[in-house]
Every structure is written in structure tokens, then in C-alpha cells.
Amino acid sequence: MQHNGAGETPNGEPPPLSFSAAAPLQMATSRVRRFAQEGRTVPPQPRVMVVFSAASDTEKQGDAMLGADTGEEEYRKPAIPVPNLNLGKSLRTLDAPEEFPEVIPLNVGGTYFTTRLSTLRRYEDTMLAAMFSGRHHIPRDAEGRYFIDRDGAYFGDILNFLREGELPQRDRVRAVHREAQYYAIGPLLESLEDTQPLTGEKVRQAFLDLLPYYKENLERIVEIAKLRAMQRKARFAKLKICVYKEEMPITPYERPLFNSLRFERSESEAKLFEHHCEVDVSFGPWEAVADVYDLLHCIVSDLAERGISADQQCIGVCDKHLINHYYCKRPIYEFKITWW
């Protein structure tokens, strides 16, 4: 907009101020001084606030803020946002390492223990050493004992090993082994795995690894027995289970011809002997010294480990006709699963 000689617009009002980014306040001061020299009344000046942006001096600042007639000031956000520096509430600051007393009172699942700090830090790569390293917060109970939310029934065995390397009694080995796994105490795990019954379990598992379907079949035994007992509203259920070691069924006529139960047949002949015995679950074959009775012992003991009572007895063989004079001679066992 152009100005007239008197510095007024055609309607007699002073023209609006036009600011540049270089000197907005200097222009306003010059206009007031010119009104004073001419003896004219200086009109009331609106209240303004100038906002500087990162733009160059040659760019117009038409978006600068204007004053409000009502007296309320409206502010525009600056062109470059101001970063929020109040980050303390969203980030958790690291506390200084916690100092522990030499004697540590513990509350492990409601069971109280007292031990030295050096005992808990005996092996640095364990969970207990990490907990009491000072880097982690450990809650306390109402009496100030450090609380560990774990069953304390076998924690005494853990402390005895950390103190002097003492191992638990045989009937507690499995349970202490589970606790050692939780607390990640490697030396205790190695010592327990070299003692009974865990050593025997490793040998037994090496045999069961020959039957990759073993655990799946064990689950099938439990499910079938449960469903059968519920359907019949009975206290127990009976299942037929085939357990055989040889690679394929044979007849008594073939046994004298071979020194062992293993013999070779062509692929076409082998297919003639493929069949499934009419049983609920079948185990076999496998190649190992362990025989059928060893596998039966595994099945019964693993069911007992789950609190399921099982009795078994041989009730005959499959005796299914295959081809010519060949009949299946796989043994069939009857399992009686008692539920209560």
C-alpha cells in the first residue's frame, strides 16, 4: 500500500504498520516521532509481539502476530518448534549402586534365611549374584528382609551348596535341580547331573531318543484312558498297546534261519509286511540293547511320575495274517489305567 503526503489513508486513518524482519521496532518508533514533530496527536498503538523465524531477511513476515482489540493476545507458534526439554518424567534415571550389609536377611516365598553377602555372590554368573550386585532393585517385606518370590522349600539346599559345596540327598535331587536351573547356578547343575537319579535319567533318555514319538504316544495313552473312563463312568480304563523291538514282523519259521531278529528283505517284499496292529497305541521298532521290558518300565514309571497308576500284562500277539504263511507276531499288552 502506498502512503499519501500527510501519512494518511484516504479515509483519514493511519495506514497499517508494515514490518520487515530487519527492523520492525525502528519503523514504529520513526512513525511516532514524525507525528510528534507535526503537532498531531499520536493515535493509540496496538500491542504487538514480533516473532522471528529462521527465514532470510528478504522474506516477508506477513504472518507476524497482530494485536487483538479485546485486549486478549493471540500468539502464533514459532516457525521452528522449541524442543520439549522436560524429559525427566518419561525416562527412569539410574540410581546409584545399592549398598548391601555383610549379613543378608532373606524372605524366600515366606521362608526366612540369613546368609553372608559373599555367599550369594559366590558365582558371579548366577541370578543371585546379579540380584545382589547393586544394579537391580530388590523389594523388601514389612520387616526389611529382601524378598524373593520363589518357593523356599529347597532354597536351603541352594545356600548349602554356595557355602561349602554340599549336595542334597537323593530324594531331593530333582527338585533342587529345578531350583538350580531357575537361579542359573551352573556348578550346582553340573554336580547334580553327575549323581543319581539324574545320571540314570540321562542314560534312559539316550534310549528314548531312539523313539521320537515316545512323548506323543504317552500323551495319547493318557487322553484315551481319560476319555474311555469318562464315557463308561468307570474307575479305570483298559488299553491295548503294541510294543515290539524288531524292524518288521516275523514268524517262528524264520527265527532259526537268522542269528538275530534283523534280516534283509527287498523293498517290494518289505511293503508286503507293512501293516498296523489293531491296538490303541504302538511303540517300535528300535535298535538298541534295551528290550521290550525296558520300554514298558519307562512307560509305567513316566505315568507314575504324573500321578497316574498303570498296570500292564501281555495278552498275546497281533497274529494278523500278512502273506502266505507269514503272520504278525508283535506282542500286545493290556494297560489298566486307574484314576482313583
- Tell me, what's the pLDDT at 13? 54
- Tell me, what's the pLDDT at 96? 72
- Tell me, what's the pLDDT at 93? 33
pLDDT tens-digit readout, 229-246? 999 999 999 999 999 997
pLDDT tens-digit readout, 52-85? 444 444 444 444 444 444 444 444 444 444 334 3
- Determine contact, residues 74/68, Cβ cutoff 8 Å: yes
- Determine contact, residues 107/146, Cβ cutoff 8 Å: yes
- Determine contact, residues 335/238, Cβ cutoff 8 Å: yes
- Tell me, what's the pLDDT at 84? 41
Kindly give the parts of the chain with pLDDT less than 50.
1-7, 17-22, 48, 50-94, 249, 253-262
In terms of C-beta density within 10 A (0-12 exposed, 13-18 middle, 19 or more buried), how is residue 133 classed? middle
- Tell me, what's the pLDDT at 53? 47
Angle at 100 between CA 98 and CA 103, to 5 degrees: 170
How many other C-beta atoms lie within 10 A of the C-beta of residue 235?
Answer: 9
